Amino acid sequence: VIYADYNGSAPPLPAVREYLRKRLDSDLFANPNAIHSMGQRLTKGIEKSRSIIAEVVGCYPDQIFFNSGASEGISHIISSVLNKSASSKKIVITSPIEHIAVSAALNHFKMNHNFTIKYVELDLNGVVRPQSLEKLLRENSTSVSLVAIMAANNETGALQPYVEIASICTKFGVDYFSDTTQLIGKGEFDFLKSGMDFAVCSGHKIGALTGSGFIIAKEPTKLHSHIFGSTQEHGKRGGTQHYLGIETLAVALSDFNDKKTGLKTLQEARLDFESQMKSAFSEVIIIAEKAPRLAGTTLIGYPGLHGQAVQIELESHDIFVTTSAACSDNQPETSEVLKSMEIHEDLGRSVIRISLSYSHGKAEYSLLVQALKDAYNKLSKIHSY
């Protein structure tokens, strides 16, 4: 079996499984907010996890706020900034390739709170043009409350120029939130060096437990209390902490930190896979090919074929991929991200996304080459009758 949908959800890492096996055999389950010694031990575990994570992602421990994952973090950040913004600052700048968790949150403020959304331009590889952000900010700077532009695209894997974007936002004094869901634990990242104001992480994207995640906030006072309750997470998010999930976030990010040299092997194997597919089929197109991309993400298309048919063929070889964004899997049409890149329907409908992790390399991609060649050969014959 090759599970190649790590951008959709990564299975728990071997290190996380091993940790949990031992952890579940311990008797340390209690309310981490209790003052008895078991509660205190759990609190210590949470704070130790916070410090480990801060070290890996390049921030201070008190800039991290645990939650249930990226969607929650995104809603929390966007509503904190937009709810507090002055009535004269009703513009948000974003990109057309954001995950729906970002675009839907911004749309909510557009529909219900009179915000205007302005979009930066993309180049042909689906990478944001920083000059277009600079232009929008120059034209509207006194009215912009937030820039929300992702760090790595979940469909194409295209890395965005987030350091440059952050420095432009700093120049104009506007807060910058970057959706880092696909970057943290998958590529090099240092929050303080990035210049961002806010970032997010989802546990299940990095091999920790589903239902765990965190926000990083440069200035935590900018976050409002998003879930009312007790004083957990410095009052920003009430509710008893998901301490097992939090512990697995620290295990997963430590594992990434120890093994991130694997990213180079992964990238080389991925590039070799892509060039083998292109030389076998002149029709094959790698979306965002010329952009710097996440080491293990390929969005590959064969115009005229149906991505879902390709997916089913691969599944018969026990290889699991998706057609594009997981949430649009059952919609046999070009995704919004690809539409915004002006990708033709014929190509857009044909794509499959292959996403692997730093523990993978040549072995997985060799099997993928064979299976995908078989699938394309079979489907292109059927298609041409």
Query: Which residues form the interface with ligand PLP (CB under 6 A)?
Result: 69-71, 99, 101, 150, 154, 179, 181-182, 202, 204
CB-nearer residue toward ligand PLP: 284 or 338:
338
* Both structure tokens of 77: 């950040």
Nearest approach, Cβ of residue 181 and ligand PLP (Å): 4
Q: State phi, psi for 215 to the nearest 5 degrees.
A: -105, 145
Least distance to ligand PLP, CB of residue 319, Å = 20
- 68 or 276: CB nearest ligand PLP: 68
For the chain, list the strands marked E by DSSP. Answer: 2-3, 64-67, 91-94, 116-119, 144-148, 175-178, 198-202, 213-217, 285-286, 297-301, 319-320, 352-355
Please, which residues have CB within 8 angstroms of residue 280's CB and are 6 or more apart in sequence?
369, 373, 376
The minimum distance between CB 182 and ligand PLP, in angstroms, equals 5
Give dist(CA 366, CA 358) in Å, integer. 16
CB of 204 to ligand PLP, least distance (A): 6
Closer by beta carbon to ligand PLP, 212 or else 276: 212
Closer residue to ligand PLP (CB): 154 or 311: 154
Q: How far is the CB of 249 from ligand PLP (least distance, A)?
A: 12
Complex with ligand PLP: residue 160 or 350, whichever CB lies closer: 160
Nearest CB to ligand PLP, comparing residues 181 and 323? 181
CA angle 214/232/211 to nearest 5° reads 40
* CB-CB neighbours of 137 under 10 Å: 22
Measured distance CA(352)–CA(372) in Å, rounded: 10
| Alpha helices by DSSP H, 226-340 | 243-259, 262-280, 307-315, 336-340
Least distance CB 69 / ligand PLP (angstroms): 4
CB of 38 to ligand PLP, least distance (A): 30
161 Cβ contact partners less than 8 Å away, ≥ 6 residues apart: 127, 128, 130
Beta carbon of residue 340, minimum distance to ligand PLP (angstroms, whole number) = 15
- In the bound state with ligand PLP, the residue whose beta carbon lies nearer, of 101 and 215, is 101
Neighbours of 339 (CB within 10 A): 14
Total residues belonging to the chain: 385
Residue closer to ligand PLP by CB (options 291, 375) is 291
Q: Residue 378: is it exposed, middle or buried by C-beta count within 10 angstroms (0-12/13-18/19+)?
A: middle
